[in-house]
Every structure is written in structure tokens, then in C-alpha cells.
Copies of this chain bind each other. A is one copy, B any other.
């Protein structure tokens, strides 16, 4: 009954940006990601008859409040699906996502939790069912069920039963790397969930964003199949800029970028001008991820670490999907 699962985080090359259903976490557009070896969560779940509520430990610390509520609400879905609404669990989760890497741990966290809890409670699943389940905990986490390059199909059904990840190419298909560049100053965070919602509701450019996705997806999947780094990098970078542009047309407008974000973007463009193939992508925050090829790793790390305002650079290669340990 006691089950441990491991899941990696992922970085979106085509961004998930906007929900069509807040409760089921159904997206407005398909997205595409690369699962990353370097950053993962391990989670152990054991359902115990003696428990009257869940107990959730994160990095050996007992958690309460909002974070606990989100986990236990997610377990409610699993208990219900398994027909055991009164089964409560002890959960131990460890994040191997260096804070300094600037990744949200929700992707690896909810993927590991879903996998461990479903198995612990004997809920029959396959990867697709697990992806659907995981999505309801954290949208982008549904992509972490698979390794390598992964697409999240938005689906069309109101109940979300066709909104899940599908594998595009495994981790060993292509060794491209991701450098996570984190800024020194943890400046005031701009609304992340709230920002997404405000953009969907008010941005003059949001409909055109959604319309632009199918072309990006078709092209980047060709690029991945052909292992065409320039193509994949250019599409990912353009997609990221197009996503961030939607926030500038929200009402009121806002931006996730800090001045150092722009310095890093410029450093990446300068690398390209100097003949080093590198492309950036940015999620809903000021940190930057840089895509590069293995042979340039030393140059990439040195260049990015020398950008004023950069705190740390952590690199990763493609990672595997969820596994049991």
C-alpha cells in the first residue's frame, strides 16, 4: 500500500496560457514541453485506517494552510474515484528542485503525488488517466507524466476527459539542454494565476494568441522530429514573446519582466550573433530558461552567470516521465 513515485518538472516550449475551466483546469490552447532530468519531486503516500484527515509533509515539514488544502482537495478527487471517500493518507514529499532554479515545484509535485496516491489506493490508471488526474491538481503537471517532449492536448469535452498529455518524443530522442537562469533580486511577484485570468478576460491580443498556437505546434513538432535546433528554438522564443505580449495588452496592462530579464534576453541574442545557437523562454515570472546544445554548455553557463543581476544558473538535460521507486 505504501507507494513512492518520482516525477520531473517540465519547461513549456509552447506555453499553456489561459484556462477555459478554472475548476477542472482545462486550457484554452494546446501546449508543448520538455521534461527535465535535473528537477524532480519524490512523494510517498500511504493510506492509513487510523487517520481522520490527510497529513502532508513537504521536505520533512508538516504542512498546513493553503498548501495543505490544495493537496487534500486533490486527494479528494482520488478518494472519490477509488470509491473510498473516507480513506486518508500520510504523504511525504521531497522537492529536488533547487529554489535557485526558479521552477515552480507544482508540476513535479502534483505528478508525483497523483502517481503515488493512485497506486496506493489501488485506483486503476494508465498514463493517460494519470495525466487527466494530475491536470486537476496543477495544469502543467499533466505534462510531467511523460518524459522527453510532451504535448498537452486541450481537448474539447466539458468534463475534461480528453484534456491530457501525449508523448511526442522520448528523452533519448534528442539531447538538448536547458539552463535555468535565476535573478538575484526576488522582486515583488506579479500575479501568476491572477495574471493569466486577467489576460484571458481583458487582453485585446488574447484571441489572436489562441489562434496562433496551431501553427506553432505543427512547426515545432516538425522541428523536434528533425532535431532542427534553430527551428525549435526560434519557435519557442517567438511563442514566449507572443505570450508575454498578451499581458501588455491586458487591462490594466502588466509584465512579468524585470530589467535583468531583458539583459538575459539580450545576452542570448548576443550569443547567437557570436555563432552560439541559444534561445530563451520565460514563464509567468522574471526568470529565464535558455535552450542550448550540449557542446556549448561551458560557454552558456559562463556567459549567463556573468550577466549583471543573475544569481545562479542550473542546467538540465531531458528527463524521464513519472516512475515508481
Contact = CB atoms under 8 A, between A and B. Distances in A.
Interface in A256-283: 257-263, 266
Contacts of A257: 262
Query: Interface residue tally of chain A, by bracket?
Result: 20 to 34
Interface of A: 204-205, 207-209, 211-212, 234, 237-238, 241-242, 244-246, 248-249, 251-253, 255, 257-263, 266
Nearest to A207: B208
Nearest to A286: B262
A260 B261 CA distance: 11
Interface SS of chain A: helix, strand, loop or mixed?
helix
This chain: copies in complex: 2
Contacts of A207: 208
Given A205-B205, A208-B205, A249 B241 contact: yes
A242 B248 CA distance: 6
Nearest to A308: B259
Given A259-B259, A259-B260, A260-B259, A205 B249 contact: yes
Contacts of A266: 258-259
A236 to B, nearest CB: 12
